[in-house]
Amino acid sequence: MAYSTLTLAQQGGLPQGVFWLIVGVIALFVFFAVVMFLASRYRRCPSNRILVIWGTKGKSTRCFHGGGQFVWPIIEDFAYMSLEPLVIEIPLTGALSLNNIRVDVPSTFTVGISTDGVQMNNASERLLGLPPQAIREQAQDIILGQLRLVIATLTIEEINKDREKFMNLINVNVTQEINKLGLELINVNIRDITDESGYIVAIGQRAAAEAINRAKVEVAQQEREGSVGEAKAVRERNVSVAQEKALSDQGQKEAEQQKRVAIAGYEADAVKGEVQAQRDRDVATAERKAETIAASKRAEQEQRIQVASAEALAVDGENTSNAQIAESNARLAEIRAEANRRADVAAAKSLEAIMVAEREQELARLAKTELAPQEIEKKRIEIAAEAEAEKLRREARGQADATLARYMAEAEGLQKVLEAKAEGYRKLVEACAENPQVAPTLLLIEKLPELVAEQVKAVQNLKIDKVTVWDSGRGSQSEGKGGTRGATADFLSGLIGTLPPVHELARQAGIELPGALGRMTTDDGDAAHPAKPAQPTKPAQPAKPAE
C-alpha cells in the first residue's frame, strides 16, 4: 500500500518529503485517536462509591472499591453505587415483649452498602440502579421485623436494664438480614422505650426509691463511721495526752531524782568533809594534849623519876587520849550512818517516784490495750443480749398469740358443738313431751354401741392358749333346775356370764329398755323390775384348762 501511495504521489508530482510528512501526521492522529478512545474507557472509582462492571462472560458483575478499571467497549458496561449512609427512622410501636407487655421503641438506624467482597456482589445484584428511597424502604421493613423479634425474646426488665444485651441482639439479628441485601449496620440509636401500661415508669420510680433509700443508708453509714472516727480520734488524743503527760511527769521525776541525788551527794561530801575536819581537829587536839601531857610527864618523870604517881598520871593520860580517840571515832561513825541514811532515803524516794510514774504509764497502757477493747466488747455483748432478749420476747409474744388464737378457736368450736347438742337435746325433749322416759331411752340406745364395745374390752385382753374340757357325758344337776347339763355347756355359760349384761346396766342407770331388746328375769322366773338396781356382777375368772 505504501508503495502504491508513493507511486501515486510521484505521479501527482508531490515531493517525497512532503508525502512522508503527511503520512506521519495521519499516523500520529490515528494513534492519538486510539489512545483517547482507550482512555475514555478507563474508569476510576472514588472512595465514596463502588464501581460495578458487568458483561464479562461467566460473571454477573465485578465490583471494585477504589482504584481504577478498564472497561472494554461494546462487550462491557459499568455503573456506580453510592456508599453514603442511609438514615432510617423506625417508629416501632406496640411491640410485644416476653412478659406480654407492649412497648414503643422509636429508634434510628444508619445503614450503608458494605465494601466486603461478597456483600458488594449482593448489593450489585439487588440494589444496583435503585434510588436511595427504595433502598431505605426495603431496609426499614427488614429492621422492623427483626426489632420486633428481638423485643419478643426479652422482658421489660432486660430491655430497660441490660441495654448492652439488647443492642447486641439488635446488631446480630439486623446485620444478618441486611447483609443479604449487601448493606451493613453502621449505628443504632434507641431514642426512648415506653409502654402503654406504665410498667417502665413504675420500674424507674422503684429504682429511684431504692437509690434514695440506698443513699440514705450510705449517709447513715458515713455518719456512723464519722462518729466512730471522731470517737477514735478523741480517744487517741486523750491517750496521747496521757502518754505525753506521763512522759513529762516521768522526766520531771527523773530531774527531781537527779537533783535530790546530787544534793544528797553534795551533802554527803560536805558531811564527810566536816567529819574529816572534825576528826583531824580532834586528832590534832588529842596529839597536842598528848604531847603536852607527855612533856609534862617527862618533866615530872625527870623531876620525879622514882615517884609512882608519875607513872599513874602517864597511864591516866594515855587512857584519856584513847577515850577521846574512841569518842571521835564513834561520832564519825554516827555522821557516816546519818549520811548513808539520807542517801538511802533519797534513793528510795527517787525509786518510788520512778515506780509511780511506771505505774501510771502501765495503767495508761492497760486502759488503751485491754480496758478499751473490753469496754467495746461489753457494749457489743449488751447490745447483742438486748437484741436476743427482744427477739425472745417477740417470739414468746407470737407463740402466746398463736396459742391464744388456737385455744379461742377450740373454745368456739366446742361451744358450737355444745350448742348444737343442747339444741338437739331440747328438740328431743320437745318431741318426747308426752312420754319423758323415751328421751333417756333413746340416748341410751344411741350410746349402746359404745357400751357394747366397753363390754367387749373386758375380755378382749384374755390370752387363752388352749381350753380342754373333760366331759363324761353324764351331765350334772343344775341348782334350782330340774334338768341336767354337760360340763361343756356349764363352761360356755360361765364364760358368757363374765360379760356385764346390758339389761343390768340399763337397770342400774334407772332406764327401761324397749321390749324389742327382751326382758331380764329373776331366779323365780318373774321379770325384773326396772326400779330395783341390781348389784353389779363381778366378772368371773377365766377357766383354767384341765390337766
| Whole-number pLDDT of residue 106 | 92
Is the confidence at residue 478, as pLDDT, over 60?
Answer: no
Query: Coil, strand, or helix at residue 336?
Result: helix
Task: Lowest mean pLDDT of 392-406, 448-462, 526-540, name the range.
Answer: 526-540
pLDDT at 525 over 80: no
Least confident of 234-248, 280-294, 306-320: 306-320
- Dump pLDDT digits (tens) for 208-220: 788 888 888 888 8
Over its C-alpha atoms, the chain yields an Rg (Å, rounded) of 69
Give the type of residue at 395.
E
Q: Residues 271, 393: one domain?
A: yes
In a domain, 51, yes or no: yes
| Residue range 483-511, pLDDT digits in tens | 555 555 565 555 555 555 666 666 665 66
* Whole-number pLDDT of residue 474: 54
pLDDT > 90 fraction of the chain, expressed in percent and rounded: 10
pLDDT of res. 363:
81
Range of the domain at 21: 2-40
pLDDT tier, 41 (very low <50, low <70, confident <90, very high otherwise):
confident
In contact, 466 and 544? CB cutoff 8 Å? no
Q: Identify the band that residue 480 occupies on the pLDDT scale cut at 50, 70 and 90.
A: very low
Q: For residues 313 and 217, what is the distance between their CA atoms, to the nearest angstrom?
A: 113
Run of H or E residues at 6: helix 2-12
Instruction: Write the pLDDT tens digit of every residue in 415-459.
Output: 888 888 888 877 777 777 677 666 677 676 777 677 777 766 666
pLDDT tens string 390-400? 888 888 888 88
pLDDT bin (cut points 50, 70, 90) of residue 309 is low
Same domain, 259 and 391: yes
Q: Say how many domains are in the chain.
A: 5
Same domain, 33 and 129: no
Work out the average pLDDT over 455-471.
Answer: 62
Last residue of a domain, one of 392, 408, 424: 408
Instruction: Establish if 391 belongs to a structural domain.
Output: yes
157 part of a folded domain:
yes
3 pLDDT above the threshold of 50: no
Count of other CB atoms within 10 angstroms of residue 65: 19
- 316-336 pLDDT, tens digit each: 777 887 888 888 888 888 888
Per the model's pLDDT, the better-predicted residue between 238 and 502 turns out to be: 238
Q: Whose grid coordinates read 495526752?
A: 241
Each residue of 171-191: pLDDT tens digit? 999 999 999 989 999 999 988
| Average pLDDT of the segment spanning 97-121 | 89
Mean of per-residue pLDDT scores for the chain: 76
- pLDDT over 70 (residue 300): yes
Q: 398 and 286 in one domain?
A: yes
Q: Give the residue, 55 or 6, on which the prediction is more confident.
A: 55
Most confident of 48-62, 183-197, 271-285, 344-358: 183-197
How many CA atoms lie within 13 Å of 144's alpha carbon, on the beta-carbon side? Answer: 14
- Note whether residue 527 is domain-resident: no
The C-alpha atoms of residue 257 and residue 355 are separated, in whole angstroms, by 12
In the predicted model, is pLDDT for residue 545 greater than 50? no
CA dist list (Å): 488 to 305, 419, 465, 540: 168, 53, 17, 16
3-state secondary structure of 93: strand
Q: Are residues 135 and 281 in the same domain?
A: no
Q: Is residue 537 part of a domain?
A: no
Instruction: Please check whether residues 451 and 490 belong to one and the same domain.
Output: yes
Answer yes or no: is pLDDT of 517 > 70: no
* Among the listed residues 200, 188, 92, the one whose alpha carbon sits nearest the alpha carbon of residue 149: 92
Name 77's bridge partners. 54
The answer on 291 and 170 residing in a single domain is no
Q: Are residues 285 and 349 in the same domain?
A: yes
pLDDT class for 536, splitting at 50, 70, 90?
Answer: very low
Q: Which of 61-75, 122-136, 280-294, 420-434 has the highest mean pLDDT?
A: 122-136
Q: Are 295 and 325 found together in one domain?
A: yes
Same domain, residue pair 105 and 188: yes
The Cα–Cα gap between 162 and 98 comes to: 15
pLDDT of residue 462: 60
pLDDT tens-digit readout, 92-106: 888 888 888 888 999
User: Is 174 found in the same domain as 101?
Assistant: yes
Q: Which residue has the cell 432486660?
A: 158
Predicted confidence band of residue 107 (pLDDT cuts 50, 70, 90): very high
The answer to whether residue 8 sits within a structural domain is yes
Top pLDDT among 540 and 304 is at 304
Compute the distance between CA of residue 100 and CA of residue 152 in angstroms, rounded to an integer. 8
Residues 463 and 403 in one domain: no
**Cell numbers that stand for 349 in this block:** 524516794
- Is there a domain that residue 421 lies in? no
Place of cell 517516784: 353
Secondary structure (3-state) at 519: coil
Nearest partner of 359 among 236, 250, 244, judged by Cα = 250
Give the C-alpha separation, 17 to 6, whole Å: 11
Instruction: Note whether residue 215 is domain-resident.
Output: no
